[in-house]
Amino acid sequence: MTTNCCILYNQPLEDALADELDVLDQVEFIEKNLKLLGIATCRKGITGGFMEELKSLAFDKPDFVFNLVESISNKGEISYFIPALLNMHSIPYTGNPLEALFITTSKYLTHKILTASGINTPRTYKPSEHSLLKPGLAYIIKPVWEDGSQGITAESVFTYSREHDNKLELYDDSHWLVQEYIDGREFNITVLTGKKGPEVMPPAEIIFRNYEEERPKIVDYKAKWEEGSFEYENTIRFFPEEDLDGKLRDQLSMTALKCWDVFGLKGYARVDMRVDKSGIPYVVEVNANPCLSPDSGVVAAVEKAGLAFSEAVNRIINDLN
């Protein structure tokens, strides 16, 4: 009997930009790899009418859902409704469970749990707590709920002085946070489920080529999505392999695995870290259900590990919720 899978994804809005349209590339890529495994597929785009859309999916009774929903109506903060409804309708699904997806989608909750678990992470504040910031230190302001570098520009990094207070008061606490900026190297660590537990893929370093001293070395929206921009052309993913210090490699791997355990991650995840000038890694983001487009960091890391991506997909669907 042929297994059938419904690929669930967020239907891009009519005026969607590159970051939202990227999910369509993911759908095609996942569909291709599922077919290589002999799995029949269908597609279902999710919109603001997701309650009824998921209800109708329950009547279709797919064997499982491949969950690629990153947002609903381009709002990441409600994406956790999808695994909640899949749970309610008893539909098995790939990737991370409801609890992990909800917590890690909130950068503020992620920070709280990282801190409580003894995992290094930059000090983080609500915009209304600007009186706690230290003049002369560098900070970065980020959206709490959105991924894909939405809302992040070169101007997001600033050296704090009291003159910033009026501007910071314009940001509401429910959607923005202020985090210490770690000036150093950036690494993306992919973790993939396996028969013997989670497996760390080769660490990828982000190289900021041709960046002047005063330009902050961050993967902002332009670096991620605007082809032809300076940031896009000069932000390079690199696998250091033997050039990476053994002690640092172990720290990155152990930290990523601890995040997997602490947040209850499943299937696949990516942990982003910054390493300061003293060689200390800081977790800046835990990505449950990260991007799976052909040019994504997860796919690159899996291939660097010598795995066919269809094998990674097979592992993911053997770790259903």
Average pLDDT, the chain: 93
Fold of domain 104-121+183-203+239-317:
D-amino Acid Aminotransferase; Chain A, domain 1 (3.30.470)
Instruction: Note the pLDDT of residue 223.
Output: 85
Q: Rounded to an integer, what distance in angstroms lies between the CA atom of residue 208 and that of residue 50?
A: 40
User: For 288-303, what is each residue's pLDDT tens digit?
Assistant: 999 999 999 999 999 9
Contact (CB, 8 A) for 95 and 154? no
* DSSP calls for 252-273: HHHHHHHHHHHHT--SEEEEEE
User: For 219-265, what is each residue's pLDDT tens digit?
Assistant: 988 888 888 999 889 999 999 977 788 899 999 999 999 999 999 99
Instruction: Note the pLDDT of residue 74.
Output: 83
What are the Cα distances from residue 139, in Å, to 109, 157, 231? 19, 6, 20
181-201 core/surface letters (b: 16 or more CB in 10 A; e: else): bbebbbbbbbbbbeeeebbbb
Could you tell me the residue ranges of all domains in the chain? 4-93, 104-121+183-203+239-317, 124-180
Q: At residue 301, what are phi and psi to the nearest 5 degrees?
A: -70, -40
Contact (CB, 8 A) for 84 and 54? no
User: For 155-170, what is each residue's pLDDT tens digit?
Assistant: 899 999 999 999 999 9
Q: Rounded to an integer, what distance in angstroms lies between the CA atom of residue 84 and that of residue 87?
A: 5
Contact (CB, 8 A) for 288 and 321? no
Nearest CA to 108 among 129, 91, 125?
Answer: 125
Q: Rounded to an integer, what distance in angstroms lies between the CA atom of residue 268 and that of residue 313?
A: 10
SS3 204: strand
Q: Rounded to an integer, what distance in angstroms lies between the CA atom of residue 302 and that of residue 292?
A: 11
For strand 64-68 and strand 235-238, is the pairing parallel, antiparallel, or unpaired? unpaired
Instruction: Note the pLDDT of residue 243.
Output: 77
Question: Partners of 152 in the beta sheet?
Answer: none
User: For 178-227, what is each residue's pLDDT tens digit?
Assistant: 999 999 999 999 999 999 999 999 999 999 999 988 888 999 888 888 88
pLDDT over 70 (residue 148): no
Fold of domain 4-93:
Rossmann fold (3.40.50)
> Count of CB atoms within 10 A of residue 118's CB?
8
Predicted TM-score of the model (pTM):
0.94
For the record, the structure tokens of 298 come out as 């997860």
Angle at the Cα of 264 from the Cα atoms of 84 and 179, rounded to 5 degrees = 95
Q: Rounded to an integer, what distance in angstroms lies between the CA atom of residue 201 and that of residue 88?
A: 33
Residue 127 DSSP code: G
For the record, the structure tokens of 3 come out as 């297994």
Instruction: Note the pLDDT of residue 60.
Output: 85
Instruction: Note the pLDDT of residue 7.
Output: 97
pLDDT: which is higher, 16 or 282: 282
User: For 65-112, what is each residue's pLDDT tens digit?
Assistant: 999 999 998 888 899 999 999 999 999 999 999 999 999 999 999 999
What's the rounded mean pLDDT across residues 276-286? 95
Instruction: Note the pLDDT of residue 59.
Output: 86
